[in-house]
Amino acid sequence: MNKRNILKEPFWLLTVRFGIVFVIVVIIIQLIWELFSAGNLNAVTESFQNRSWITYAISKLILGLVYGATMAYFTKRNAKKK
């Protein structure tokens, strides 16, 4: 994306894009960490059985939105400066 495209993009769309990418990267890192620390992914299947995944998903959604909004703000601000 060049500067003109970023300035024309709606703030909420940039927020969602940054947030989705961030959440995907965080989830992948957490899965890799779980794999290497425990040697398997049993914690993932256990979380689906006891419904703790709802809290996990809500926390990742909030984290992604906060990160996305922050990055969208700074990206638009830097594009305006240039």
4-11: Cβ within 8 A, 24+ apart: 6/75, 6/76, 6/79, 7/76, 7/79, 7/80, 11/69, 11/72, 11/73, 11/76
Tens digits of per-residue pLDDT, 38-70?
777 777 777 777 777 888 889 999 999 999 999
Instruction: For residues 20 and 43, give the distance between their C-alpha atoms in angstroms, rounded to a whole number.
Output: 23
Judged against a pLDDT cut of 90, whether residue 16 lies above it is answered with yes
The domain limits of the chain are 11-81
